[in-house]
Structure 1
Amino acid sequence: MITIGTVLIALLLFTAGGIVKGLLGVGLPMVAIPGLTLIVGLPNALAMVSVPVALANLWQVWQFRQAPGPGGVLVPYLISGAIGTIIGTLILVSLPEAWLELGLATMLIGYVVLRLSNPGLKLMQGAARKSAAPVGFGAGVLHGSTGIAGPIGITYFHAQGLSRDRFILSVGLMFLTFAAVQIPMLGLTGILRADTVLTGVIGLPAVAAGLWIGNMLGRRIEPKVFDWLVLIVLTWTAAGLAWRSVSEFAGG
């Protein structure tokens, strides 16, 4: 049962995630899911963010619809990613929650390390095309099981050296496709309940407000400042998830 306190915390996380997404083009799941997982568990967290993530990315896809996507990459990436999302959702309902939380913590730490190391690797177009299907599948599995495809998906598109509008369009299509597959899967597996969906719907104005604030701040404040703040929050959250999962293992 979702409490009023949980809804209020969800609204704060949706707003924060919307701000980051408005500023950087990505970040709503990365901010909202870990925080909600600490409160309601990973399956419920995914159910809560599913509708806001889908609609936020639908808006960004429409906003950047004129941008050309990376040639020969998106179709195989999205198709294999959709299949991976189905498999990932089945993993979500099959594994103990402690394992899922530990996996999410690992993904967050990996993402932070990638952002900090900033290897500057560039994928040539030929390599990007050849790797589109397997990388998309891996991102889909991650999205289905943890709700966060960023460590694979965002890194993949960023490594291609896309312009901001092409990057946001590509990532938006990725998250929109994955969410479109995951939402019915969450319903079929019994994770998507009326109270979790309602929490997400209630949070839509918070996401919209966050997107607006992020767009406004993006004109005045260096994105690197917010980037560092996000990395700090994600690191702290990853530590909390890891501690909770280890405690559950020890208690079990």
Structure 2
Amino acid sequence: MNSIFELYQNIGWALSALVLGTFLLAGMVKGVIGLGLPTIAMGLLGLAIAPAQAAALLIVPSTLTNLWQLAAGGQLQRLIRRLWPMLLMILLGTGIGSLWLGIAGGPWVVRALGAALLLYAFSGLCLPSFRVHAGEERWLGPVCGLVTGVISSATGVFVIPAVPYLQALGLNRDELVQALGVSFTVSTLALGAGLLWQGGLGQVELGASVLALLPALLGMFLGQWLRQRISAPLFKRLFFVGLALLGAHLLING
């Protein structure tokens, strides 16, 4: 039990409040638009703590909320049959990135995190809708998976280019939400394995991550309630604008 609170005791009450508030906000965004929990967590926590520590904190909340997300929809087996080359390359890319780059720390990691957030925000705000055809899917899926894995191993952000790629497959809303859940779950587990191999995911970090699950789940419930009362497209646009500002700050001041 002590290990659950040990990290929070070490970083102090102010940073602990930042961590728990961040996961509450990140969970709320995920509840409204179906994504954003690890992206927001890495971005906001990257302002105050090392990216490796932030990545360790998100392992349990990200894994369990994504498992919840992928369990709904009834298309899991069909999606896995379609997406397995991309998912396999996410695992491979994360492994290669963990050996080659890692997320140990240093200004370049923070700047890389900022660049990843900025690129994701730009893709959400500016890129036109496009469609991946069946012939392109056979090679583009594995390429996107490999690149996503390498980027996530260095930054803890696993949305580029996986999310734009999945959005371009022509899936209906329920299928897309479930596909994102599958992709994010694989990415989170691969990132956790990389952190474990690097010595960044021990008992203390896992205990702190378990505690971060509570505000994340509360945020998801609040987000699902809020989704019925606000414009989801407007909320998503504000999310990307905020992400762009956060990414630019990390990139410039990392």
Using the size of structure 2 for normalisation, the TM-score is 0.89
1:155 matched to 2:177: no
- How far apart are the structure 1 equivalents of 2:189 and 2:66? 11
CA-atom RMSD in angstroms: 1.9
Who is 1:248 aligned against? Answer: none
8 Å Cα contact 1:68/1:166 also seen in 2: no
Give 1:3 shift.
2.3
Give 1:19 shift.
1.1
Amino acid at match of 2:86: Y
1:146 matched to 2:155: yes
> Structure 1 residues 47, 95: closer, same or farther in 2, change over 3 A?
closer
Give the 3-state SS of the residue equivalent to 1:121 in structure 2: coil
8 Å Cα contact 1:57/1:172 also seen in 2: yes
1:238 matched to 2:236: no
Matching residue within 2, 5, 18 for 2:14: 5
8 Å Cα contact 1:48/1:199 also seen in 2: yes
Give the 3-state SS of the residue equivalent to 2:46 in structure 1: helix
Who is 2:142 aligned against? Answer: 133
Who is 1:206 aligned against? Answer: 215
Deviations 1:38-86 (A, max 9, x none): 1112111111111111111011111234467458531111111101111
8 Å Cα contact 1:77/1:133 also seen in 2: yes
Amino acid at match of 1:132: G
Who is 1:215 aligned against? Answer: 224
Give 1:94 shift.
7.0
8 Å Cα contact 1:20/1:26 also seen in 2: yes
Amino acid at match of 2:64: L
Give the 3-state SS of the residue equivalent to 2:48 in structure 1: helix
Identity between Structure 1 and Structure 2 (%): 28
- How far apart are the structure 2 equivalents of 1:20 and 1:85? 25
1:103 matched to 2:112: yes
- How far apart are the structure 2 equivalents of 1:104 and 1:225? 25
Q: How does 1:76-91 map to 2 (within 5 A)?
A: 76-91=85-100
Who is 1:177 aligned against? Answer: 186
Give 1:145 shift.
1.4
- How far apart are the structure 2 equivalents of 1:225 and 1:194? 40
1:31 matched to 2:35: no
Who is 1:57 aligned against? Answer: 66
1:74 matched to 2:118: no
Give the 3-state SS of the residue equivalent to 1:200 in structure 2: helix
Give 1:154 shift.
0.4
- How far apart are the structure 2 equivalents of 1:89 and 1:73? 26
Give 1:118 shift.
3.0
Deviations 1:180-238 (A, max 9, x none): 22213212211124443222211111111111111111122111222122123212211
Decide which moves more: 86-95 or 39-48: 86-95
Provide structure 1 residue ranges, at least 5 long, that are not aligned to the other structure.
246-252
Decide which moves more: 157-166 or 179-188: 179-188
> Structure 1 residues 12, 96: closer, same or farther in 2, change over 3 A?
closer
- How far apart are the structure 1 equivalents of 2:235 and 2:252? 26
Matching residue within 154, 165, 174 for 1:165: 174
Amino acid at match of 1:149: F
Give 1:96 shift.
5.3
> Structure 1 residues 180, 65: closer, same or farther in 2, change over 3 A?
farther
Count of paired positions = 245
> Structure 1 residues 117, 94: closer, same or farther in 2, change over 3 A?
closer
8 Å Cα contact 1:78/1:136 also seen in 2: yes
Using the size of structure 1 for normalisation, the TM-score is 0.90
- How far apart are the structure 2 equivalents of 1:12 and 1:65? 33
Amino acid at match of 1:221: I
- How far apart are the structure 1 equivalents of 2:40 and 2:54? 11
Amino acid at match of 1:101: V
